[in-house]
Structure 1
Amino acid sequence: MEESDFLVRLINKLETAKIPYMVTGSMASGLWGVPRTTNDFDIVIQPTQDQFELFLNSFSEDYYISSDAARDAYRKHTMFNIIDHKTGWKADLIVLKNLPFQKEAFQRRRAGLIFGVKVRVTSPEDAILSKLVWAKSSDSERQIRDASGVIEVQRENLDLDYLRKWAHELGVEEMLEKIIDEADKLKP
């Protein structure tokens, strides 16, 4: 499976450089909820500068990575891309922002399996919240469906107090309550 090969190589490079990370985005919401087709991985990273340089220097010509864009993303706590020429898969690496929700979500990451690969992944609650924040800023129905899928599958296991607290802080409270209500209506 090409995507798992790329994911294994990417995670090995992060772990070799000792960079804390978590898989997020559609891969995480698909793990906890309803999977959907995507062609990229979203990975939040928290490297030191030395770790970051070690990681950057580990890539060969088999990958597209702009070192300048990556270093700029490191300085500004934004995103850069890595593309695997062999598989065509892309990874968006997001340098962890120094914001309360992002820091807490990163602390709450847990072990998971994506394409049979052991990874650190965002929690179901944080996957929901991230999708709702993204939906709010982009008016994306797909993000709402991803969040709804996690709620439908994980409903009995979710920390609703945590979800509601952060939904209020992030300004997505109404969206959250709507999809919780919809999930409750689907229960047998």
Structure 2
Amino acid sequence: MEAFFDLVKRVVESFGAFGLDYVFTGALAASYYGVPRTTMDVDVVVDVSDNDLRVKLVLALKQAGLLVDEKRIDAALMSGYRIATFEDNKSPYSVDVIFSSGKLEKRAGVVLGLPTFYQTPEDLILAKLRMIKATVPRERALKDEDDVRAILRFTEVDMETVKERAGRNNTVAILEEIVGSSPS
């Protein structure tokens, strides 16, 4: 785990040094809001709404010790998928960068004693619901379901916002199923 924490620290420090607008998402954010769990990657959403930000991202990734293929970034930005994975050259871990085209909703927090930003719990729940919906067979989404339960249990969440936006994503039934199966 020391190598994982070292990677997270390098990402926070380099993204901060380059002034990137970013938020942690995925297992790291779910651990922050809910129950800690292990993962093999760091998931981070980054605003790359203009070319200057893309250049800063490349520099920040390199400074963090990640292996950067700029063609992979360009391909991801051109595709509808908008995600690229970068391997750490110092550990078996990787960083999944999800490219955003605008200002990010975020919540300030701390990781390893460093100030950082996390995806809001509402946005994280909605992202997890979309992943659950897309996962086949559904049993493969059990960690995501557990993450949603833990976030709802341990974090104050604006449920009206979550329900309204889940309605737009056609994930209300999944949300209701998870809420209905959660311990009181």
Query: Mean alpha-carbon deviation: is it higher for 73-82 or for 119-128?
Result: 73-82
SS in 1 for 2:42: strand
**RMSD, aligned CA:** 2.2
Instruction: Give 1:55's aligned residue.
Output: 57
Deviations 1:94-132 (A, max 9, x none): 10157xxxx7xx32x111223433211011122111111
Q: How does 1:77-88 map to 2 (within 5 A)?
A: 78-88=82-92
TM-score when scaled to structure 1? 0.83
Q: Return the match for 1:132 from 119, 129, 132.
A: 129
Greater displacement, 64-73 / 22-31? 64-73
Cα distance in 2 for residues equivalent to 1:97 and 1:147: 26
Q: Which residue of 1 aligns with 2:23?
A: 22
Q: Work out whether residues 7 and 64 of structure 2, in 8 Å CA contact, stay in contact via their aligned partners in 1.
A: no
Q: Distance in 2 between matches of 1:36 and 1:119?
A: 19
Q: Whole-Å Cα distance in 2 between the matches of residues 49 and 6 of structure 1?
A: 25
What is the aligned partner in structure 2 of residue 44 from structure 1? 45
CA contact (8 A) 2:86 2:96 kept: yes
Stretch moving more, 12-21 or 26-35: 12-21
Residue 68 of structure 1: aligned partner: 71
Question: 1:176-187 residue pairs with structure 2 within 5 A?
Answer: 176-183=175-182, 186-187=183-184
Q: Secondary structure at the match of 1:38?
A: coil
* Distance in 2, Cα, partners of 1:9 & 1:61: 5
- Rounded Cα–Cα distance in structure 1 between residues aligned with 2:64 and 2:14: 15
**TM-score (structure 2 length as normaliser):** 0.85
Contact 1:33 1:146 in 2 (8 A): yes
Residue-pair matches, total: 176
Counterparts of 1:119 and 1:15, CA distance in 2: 8
Change (3 A) 1:178 1:60: closer
Higher helix share: 1
Unaligned stretches of 5+ in structure 2? Answer: none
CA distance in structure 2 between the aligned counterparts of 1:61 and 1:117, rounded to whole angstroms: 15
Q: Percent identity?
A: 23
Query: In structure 1, the residue corresponding to 2:181 is in which secondary structure?
Result: helix
1:116 maps onto 2:113 in alignment = yes
Please give the per-residue CA displacement for 1:23-72, whole angstroms capped at 9, x wherever unaligned. 00111111111221101111000022122213314516953221110122
Q: Counterpart of 2:162?
A: 163
